[in-house]
């Protein structure tokens, strides 16, 4: 099979949601279609249980499991589907953001009772930055939720994207009868409690078909009215608008009851993009190019504490990845070979001989690979866009065992390379500042430092509210700013200067006072970047 044929056969996406909206349940049901898992609950175990937010032991236990479910590959009707798992917990949002750089599209799960929640909004913001195509699955229709039109408005408003329903529900909660497929014009009836794959589908000529009245009684009239309204309010579904991230098609269903999941999957396969091109610092790389290229978007360290192995997750962007072939490690400027690359078919790790664009390959590594690293078949290019976001919580790292400071140094270096937190070092006094997006990471760091490196430390809270990478066209101004603000400047792991502000108000003042300095809220993980590419929508911190 040619590379183009291999590409056409693949779909790589992530399911994202606010915790508890039903991501895990939906993933599990999708895997069932591909025969990916036999036992229900296999995906569930990856989830951080409610009430366990500070239970890092639980997280630690799940770290092993989450390697197995980081990528789930299934084959359905000749298509290879790679589902990239994303942690739902907000404290691990950065991990999710990075995973989103490795997918070609996204399925967003929304709970019909709760509507669009905070984490959904944030994740959607990242999708918008990259124009990632999004399909929305409104879940839990078997529960009494918000009215569908209200939900549509909320989706448009809070997610800043146009929506287009492709199915429409008939009632909700205990009165839920099923969904009407606006595209195929068939009615799909809900059979509560029946969690089977095949279901009751009723083909109708159109909405005037008397069969509707027979099966739905008085609800048929409401359905006709609502569908007429939908067709009047929303534009016809246009695949090009979906692919460019302008319109999100919407499906209704109940993941728990496996209702509406097949509609979702089949439409997904029809409209979702095969592996797409990726931007590099030199040029846009097309998947169909002969020569291999790929980038690392995730690292899992110390899975087995006895061996200091790490697993790097590489997304293949172009050409063909081959086992035992030498590839160029662009950052280290050296050739590198992998003798045991593996994939994630059917939840089992198995060594692979080759992989194609869209595939994710697991690479055992002894410290050569970092998040954002690019591998190629010789070309000196670096993929862009694996972002690092401005952290929100800052603490000083203080060693509590002077005898083991080397271990502490190594541990913190490796854990931050894994993307667990960001490390900033101040010039004055070499103070080490750890920045995270959530409190949970500090517990995880303490625990892992102790258990994996035998190093102990404590964290001293710092009064900073924001950190921004700073750049300027004018080197002298930047240097002067760094000199004056030395006590609030530290350097990230690539040696780039970062300014720390105690309040958003203070940061805004600095932005106003120093117009020739640019304050960035995101940065890239790539080595030697030419400067941050994306800024968060806000120009000022809030
Ligand atoms: P997440 O990964 O997005 O965090 O959500 P997850 O799938 O774990 O689902 C969260 C809760 O919502 C689970 O209940 C799950 O059973 C339930 N759920 C998922 N889909 C549906 C649906 O279509 N209808 C209804 N009514 N509930 C749904 P739980 O009580 O937290 O867990 P469990 O005891 O069921 O395992």
The residues spanned by each domain of the chain are 3-271, 278-376, 393-541
From 16, 25, 69, the mutation candidate for ligand 1 (largest count of ligand atoms within 8 A of CB) is 25
Mean pLDDT of 22-42: 72
Please name every residue paired with 316 in a beta bridge, in sequence order, or none if there are none: 294
Question: Nearest residue CA, atom 31 of ligand 1?
Answer: 20
Q: Ligand 1 center to residue 17 CA distance, Å?
A: 12
210/309: higher pLDDT: 210
Please name every residue paired with 75 in a beta bridge, in sequence order, or none if there are none: 80
- Please say if the pLDDT value at position 357 is more than 90: yes
Q: Is 143 a pocket residue for ligand 1 (Cβ < 6 Å)? A: yes
Please list, residue by residue across 180-204, b when 16 or more beta carbons sit within 10 angstroms of its beta carbon and e when fewer do: bbbeeeebbebeeeeeeeebeebeb
Segment 33-67, tens digit of pLDDT: 876 544 444 454 444 444 433 344 555 555 554 55
Q: Is 256 a pocket residue for ligand 1 (Cβ < 6 Å)? A: yes
Segment 311-324, tens digit of pLDDT: 899 999 999 999 99
- Please say if the pLDDT value at position 231 is more than 80: yes
- Please say if the pLDDT value at position 539 is more than 60: no
**Rounded CA gap, 46 and 50, in Å?**
12
Q: Ligand 1 center to residue 408 CA distance, Å?
A: 40
**Rounded CA gap, 103 and 83, in Å?**
9
Given a contact cutoff of 8 angstroms between Cβ atoms, the answer to whether 112 and 154 are in contact is no
- 3-271 and 278-376 have identical folds: yes
**Rounded CA gap, 151 and 114, in Å?**
10
Mean pLDDT of 283-298: 95
Question: Nearest residue CA, atom 20 of ligand 1?
Answer: 256
- Please say if the pLDDT value at position 150 is more than 70: yes
**Rounded CA gap, 318 and 359, in Å?**
10
Segment 193-230, tens digit of pLDDT: 655 445 567 777 788 888 888 888 889 999 999 999 99
Q: Is 89 a pocket residue for ligand 1 (Cβ < 6 Å)? A: no
| 278-376 classified as CATH 3.40.50.300 | yes
Closest CA to 386 of 495, 275, 296: 296
* Residue-level pLDDT at 54: 38
* Residue-level pLDDT at 342: 83
Q: Is 22 a pocket residue for ligand 1 (Cβ < 6 Å)? A: yes
From 18, 21, 22, the mutation candidate for ligand 1 (largest count of ligand atoms within 8 A of CB) is 22
Out of 217-221, 261-265, 536-540, which region has the weakest mean confidence (pLDDT)? Answer: 536-540
How do 79-84 and 10-17 pair as beta strands?
Answer: parallel
Segment 315-355, tens digit of pLDDT: 999 999 999 999 999 988 999 999 989 886 545 567 889 99
80/437: higher pLDDT: 80
User: What does the DSSP assignment read for 432-489?
Assistant: EEEEESSTHHHHHHHHHHHHHH---EEEEE----EEEEEEES-HHHHHHHHHHTGGGE
Which atom in ligand 1 lies closest to the alpha carbon of residue 50? Answer: 31
* Residue-level pLDDT at 380: 92
Backbone angles phi, psi at 257, to 5 degrees: -95, 10
CATH of 393-541, one of 1.10.357.10, 3.30.70.3280, 3.40.50.300, 3.40.50.720: 3.30.70.3280
- The alpha-helical segments, DSSP class H, found in 234-377 are 239-243, 261-271
**Rounded CA gap, 491 and 494, in Å?**
8
Its CATH class, for the domain covering 3-271, is alpha beta
Closest CA to 22 of 191, 253, 266: 253
3-state secondary structure of 61: helix
Given a contact cutoff of 8 angstroms between Cβ atoms, the answer to whether 422 and 492 are in contact is yes
């Amino acid at each position: 099979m040619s590379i183009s044929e291999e590409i056409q056969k693949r779909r790589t996406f992530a399911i994202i949601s606010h915790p508890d909206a039903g991501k895990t349940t939906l993933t599990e049901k999708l895997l069932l279609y591909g025969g990916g898992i036999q036992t229900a609950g296999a995906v569930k175990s990856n989830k951080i249980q409610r009430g366990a937010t500070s239970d890092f032991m639980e997280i630690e236990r799940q770290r092993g499991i989450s390697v197995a479910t980081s990528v789930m590959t299934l084959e359905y009707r000749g298509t290879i589907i790679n589902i990239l798992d994303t942690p739902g917990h907000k404290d691990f949002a950065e991990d999710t953001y990075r995973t989103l750089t490795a997918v070609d599209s996204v399925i967003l799960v929304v709970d019909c009772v709760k509507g669009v929640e905070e984490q959904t909004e944030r994740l959607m913001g990242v999708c918008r930055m990259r124009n990632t195509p999004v399909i929305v699955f409104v879940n839990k229709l078997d529960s009494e939720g918000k009215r569908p039109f209200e939900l549509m408005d909320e989706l448009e408003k809070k997610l800043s994207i146009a929506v287009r329903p492709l199915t429409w529900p008939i009632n909700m909660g205990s009165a839920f009868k099923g969904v009407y497929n606006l595209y195929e014009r068939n009615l799909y009836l809900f059979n509560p409690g029946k969690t089977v794959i095949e279901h009751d589908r009723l083909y109708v000529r159109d909405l005037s078909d008397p069969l509707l009245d027979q099966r739905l009684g008085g609800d048929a009239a409401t359905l006709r009215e609502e569908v007429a309204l939908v067709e009047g309010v929303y534009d016809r579904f246009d695949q090009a608008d979906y692919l460019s991230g302008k319109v999100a098609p919407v499906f209704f269903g109940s993941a728990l009851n496996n209702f509406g999941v097949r509609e979702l999957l089949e439409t997904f396969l029809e409209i979702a993009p095969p592996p797409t091109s990726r931007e590099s610092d030199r040029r846009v790389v097309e998947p169909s190019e002969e020569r291999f290229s790929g980038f690392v978007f995730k690292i899992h360290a110390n899975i087995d504490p006895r061996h200091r192995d790490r697993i790097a997750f590489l997304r293949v962007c172009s050409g063909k990845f081959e086992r035992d072939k030498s590839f160029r490690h662009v950052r280290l400027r050296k050739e590198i070979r992998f003798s045991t690359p593996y994939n994630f078919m059917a939840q089992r790790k198995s060594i692979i001989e080759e992989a194609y664009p869209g595939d994710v390959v697991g690479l055992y590594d002894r410290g050569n690979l970092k998040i954002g690293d690019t591998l190629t078949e010789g070309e000196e290019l670096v993929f862009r866009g694996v972002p690092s976001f401005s952290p929100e919580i800052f603490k000083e790292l203080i060693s509590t065992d002077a005898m083991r400071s080397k271990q502490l140094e190594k541990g913190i270096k490796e854990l931050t390379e894994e993307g667990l937190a960001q490390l900033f070092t101040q010039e004055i006094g070499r103070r080490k500042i750890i920045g995270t997006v959530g409190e949970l990471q500090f517990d995880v760091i303490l625990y892992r430092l102790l258990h994996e490196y035998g190093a102990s430390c404590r964290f001293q809270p710092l009064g900073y509210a924001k950190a921004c990478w700073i750049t300027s066209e004018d080197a002298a101004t930047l240097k002067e700013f760094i000199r004056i603000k030395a006590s609030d400047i530290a350097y990230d792991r690539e040696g780039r200067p970062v300014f720390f502000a105690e309040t958003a108000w203070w940061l805004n003042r600095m932005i106003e006072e120093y117009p020739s300095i640019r304050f960035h809220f995101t940065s890239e993980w790539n080595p030697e970047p030419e400067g941050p590419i994306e800024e968060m929508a806000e120009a000022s911190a809030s």
